[in-house]
Amino acid sequence: MNKNTISFLHHNKLININFDEVAYRPSTTVLNYLRQQPAFRGTKEGCAEGDCGACTVVLAELDEQGGLRYKAVDSCLLFLPALHGKQLITVENLSQQKTISIAIAPCTAGNG
């Protein structure tokens, strides 16, 4: 793989982008990349400054123990090369889950 190619996981598929062969540039934001994908338009542009959270995606990468570390990031501020070697998780990935487990601590614990 050459230095102008990145690879990452998205929607359970390995994505390879060679910047010499596609219209994307290394300065393309992850938000702009996603908005150009017909099936992945759930990530929205709000303020384009990273303040509103409309463009939030999750990146997963291996930690030191071989597990996954998840981090929420603003896709409007993240350039495509930052995805290399990681997994990109978008709202569309979350909508594919059949079962979602959510643990909620009572807000009124100790107050009632």
103 lies in a domain? Answer: no
112 lies in a domain? Answer: no
Number of domains in the chain: 1
Query: Going residue by residue through the chain (112 aa), what tens digit of pLDDT does each one get?
Result: 578 999 999 888 999 999 999 889 999 999 989 988 887 766 767 787 777 888 889 999 988 998 889 999 999 999 999 999 999 998 877 765 554 444 444 444 444 4
pLDDT at residue number 38:
81
57 lies in a domain? Answer: yes
110 lies in a domain? Answer: no
* Strand bridging mode 56-62 / 87-89: antiparallel
pLDDT at residue number 69:
93
pLDDT at residue number 96:
58
Residue 18 lies in domain: 5-95
Q: Which residues pair with 57 in a beta bridge?
A: 73
Place of tokens 């603003």: 74
Q: What is the pTM of this model?
A: 0.76
10 lies in a domain? Answer: yes
Can you tell me the distance from the alpha carbon of 54 to that of 43, in angstroms, rounded to the nearest whole number? 7
Helix (H) or strand (E) holding 35, with range, is helix 30-35
84 lies in a domain? Answer: yes
CATH number assigned to the domain comprising residue 48: 3.10.20.30
Can you tell me the distance from the alpha carbon of 36 to that of 62, in angstroms, rounded to the nearest whole number? 27
